[in-house]
């Protein structure tokens, strides 16, 4: 992957962390919707592992930026008392 393509992926990851919709990220980054959805799925996987099976969107805290690198440091048992907004 060349530097330009890598920059597109890096930008898309940051935008997804900011809870921007997949379609908007694809349009702004120049990546395909499928490529951006794959990045979203990977991000969701990390969040579910770190947040006790839920994503930031499912918890209702989508206005909070979460760094997935930091999430990986938490043990999911430490987050077990977090409940989704109803």
pLDDT confidence tier of residue 70, bands split at 50, 70 and 90: low
**Residue partners of 45: CB distance under 8 A and separation at least 6:** none
Rounded CA gap, 35 and 76, in Å? 28
3-state helix/strand/coil string of 46-84: HHHHHCCCCCHHHHCCCCCCCCHHHHCCCCHHHHCCCCC
Least confident range from 7-11, 13-17, 39-43, 75-79: namely 75-79
Has residue 76 got a pLDDT over 70? no
């Amino acid at each position: 992957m060349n530097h330009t393509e890598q920059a597109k992926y890096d930008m898309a990851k940051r935008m997804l962390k900011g809870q921007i919709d997949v379609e908007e990220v694809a349009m702004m980054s120049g990546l395909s919707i499928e490529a951006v959805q794959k990045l979203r799925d990977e991000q969701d996987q990390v969040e579910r592992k770190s947040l006790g099976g839920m994503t930031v969107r499912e918890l209702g805290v989508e206005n909070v930026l979460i760094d997935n690198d930091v999430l990986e440091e938490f043990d999911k048992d430490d987050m077990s008392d977090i409940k989704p907004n109803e």
